[in-house]
């Protein structure tokens, strides 16, 4: 039963104005421009694009500004905007072997054709607060004088260094099927790998991080190595029907992670390294790595492993990964539930008077306002 609540129009309208003022802060401080957000909060922009599931840095910057920096709220804004747009088509699969690389490292292969390129990473910084930034610090210069420019694309390490065939390979299934699309049809269990990849790609980074972490701590039999992490620009290629040929209409930044996991073998497969895969819009390395760990854990069934840990359980992982859904359901609890609460209050009173616990006291009641 849902019981509507009336009233509060003036208070709600005033709260709009108040949240607007709170977002702006002290008007004597210059206002943030979208360019400033795009340029100086680029990792926030990337996360919002990734989980908002729309690649457009300008829109993501706008959402961050409007949400006063609350990234989950910004993701909500982007998803809501998304729902107003027509679908104009599908891209050809991104060719991540042909990316222009800004960063590329491997924890398994020391000597890589194409080299290990650290790129713009916080990994080797000392994590000491830099107080010079508090007074608009100057940007460090880069000594690129003796850097020999690389020529041509740099293939993926895992494909390149798999001479002995000890790492599993991935080929498209028969007929290279088109994946189901979670934005068009709801998820159905058991979901196939392509479907869960879409779910994870738009899933909450914090949730995936915790799930991935749990697999490392023993809640799934996983021994992962970061086979390769690459961050750079891949071409966006579409094939409009009215042209009849494919055109590359822009570049999008992505981070790709190939995890390799030791695998003892099963009845159908020899001992080898299996793979987990992560791919995310922007410079989203933590997300891509966590996604790869969770992807591998979700393959337990396929690889004949016992499904014992939360990260291996499809329904658990895939139904709780979306921060829009999670945030909505958790936060709806603060909306008026007066009638609901009143009925439970009556119940508790009756239980007290009768002295015996009611049999259905723990049954969740239907939703009421």
Size of the site for another protein (CB under 8 A): 86
- For residues 226 and 253, what is the distance between their CA atoms, to the nearest angstrom? 20
Q: Under rule CB under 8 A, which residues in 87-126 are in contact with another protein?
A: 87-94, 96-98, 100-103, 110, 115-119
Instruction: Verify binding: residue 47, another protein, rule CB under 8 A.
Output: no
Span near another protein by CB under 8 A; candidates 35-43, 83-91, 204-212, 313-321: 83-91
Q: Which of 68, 187, 233, 369 binds another protein (CB under 8 A)?
A: 233
Binders of another protein among residues 137 to 196 (CB under 8 A) are 142-144, 147-150, 156, 158-159, 169-173, 176-179, 181-184, 193-195
Which among 107, 259, 98 has a CA at the least distance from the CA of 168? 259
Q: Is 59 in the site for another protein (CB under 8 A)?
A: yes
State in angstroms the smallest separation of the CB of 150 from another protein.
6
Using the minimum distance from each CB to another protein, give the nearer residue, 20 or 58.
58
Nearest approach, Cβ of 86 to another protein (angstroms)?
A: 4
What is the SS3 assignment for 167? Answer: strand
316-345 positions binding another protein, by CB under 8 A: none
Residue (102 or 219) nearer to another protein, CB: 102
Of residues 275 through 294, those in contact with another protein by CB under 8 A are 275, 277, 279, 281
Window of 29-37, 65-73, 210-218, 241-249 that interacts with another protein by CB under 8 A = 241-249
Q: What phi, psi does 263 have (nearest 5°)? A: -145, 125
List CB contacts of 109: < 8 A, sequence separation 6 or more: 157, 161, 227, 228
**Is the N-terminal amide bond of 190 cis, ω within 30° of 0?**
yes
Secondary structure, 3-state, 204-257: CHHHHHHHHHHHHCCCCCCCEEEEEEEEEEEEEEECCCCCCCCEEEEEEEEEEE
- Check if the beta carbon of residue 208 is closer than 8 Å to that of residue 200: yes
């Amino acid at each position: 039963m849902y019981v509507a609540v009336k009233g509060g129009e003036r208070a709600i309208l005033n709260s709009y104005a108040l949240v607007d003022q709170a977002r702006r802060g002290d008007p004597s401080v210059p206002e943030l421009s979208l360019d400033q957000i795009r340029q100086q909060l680029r990792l926030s922009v990337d996360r919002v694009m990734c989980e908002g599931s729309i690649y457009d840095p300008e829109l993501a910057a706008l959402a961050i500004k409007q949400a006063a920096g609350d990234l989950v709220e910004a993701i909500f804004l982007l998803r809501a905007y998304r729902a107003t747009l027509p679908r104009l088509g599908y891209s050809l699969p991104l060719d991540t072997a042909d990316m222009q690389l800004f960063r590329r490292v491997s924890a398994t292969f020391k000597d890589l054709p194409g080299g290990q390129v650290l790129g713009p990473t916080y990994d080797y910084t000392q994590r000491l607060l830099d107080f010079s930034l508090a007074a608009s610090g100057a940007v460090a210069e880069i000594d690129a004088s003796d850097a020999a420019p690389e020529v041509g694309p740099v293939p993926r390490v895992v494909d390149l260094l798999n001479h002995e065939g000890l790492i599993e390979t991935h080929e498209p299934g028969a007929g290279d099927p088109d994946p189901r699309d979670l934005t068009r049809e709801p998820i159905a269990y058991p979901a196939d790998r392509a479907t869960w990849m879409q779910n994870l790609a738009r899933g909450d980074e914090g949730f995936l991080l915790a799930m991935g972490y749990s697999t490392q701590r023993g809640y799934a039999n996983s021994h992962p190595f970061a086979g390769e992490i690459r961050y750079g620009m891949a071409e966006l290629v579409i094939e409009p029907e009215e042209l009849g040929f494919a055109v590359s209409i822009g570049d999008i930044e992505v981070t790709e992670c190939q995890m390799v996991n030791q695998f003892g073998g099963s009845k159908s497969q020899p001992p080898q390294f299996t793979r987990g895969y992560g791919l995310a819009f922007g410079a989203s390395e933590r997300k891509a790595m966590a996604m790869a760990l969770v992807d591998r854990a979700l393959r337990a069934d396929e690889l004949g492993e016992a499904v014992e840990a939360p990260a291996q359980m499809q329904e658990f992982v895939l139904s709780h990964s979306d921060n829009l859904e999670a945030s909505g359901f958790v936060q709806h609890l603060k909306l008026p539930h007066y009638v609901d609460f009143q009925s439970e209050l009556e119940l508790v009173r009756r239980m007290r008077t009768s002295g015996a616990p009611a049999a259905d006291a723990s049954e969740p009641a239907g939703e009421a306002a």
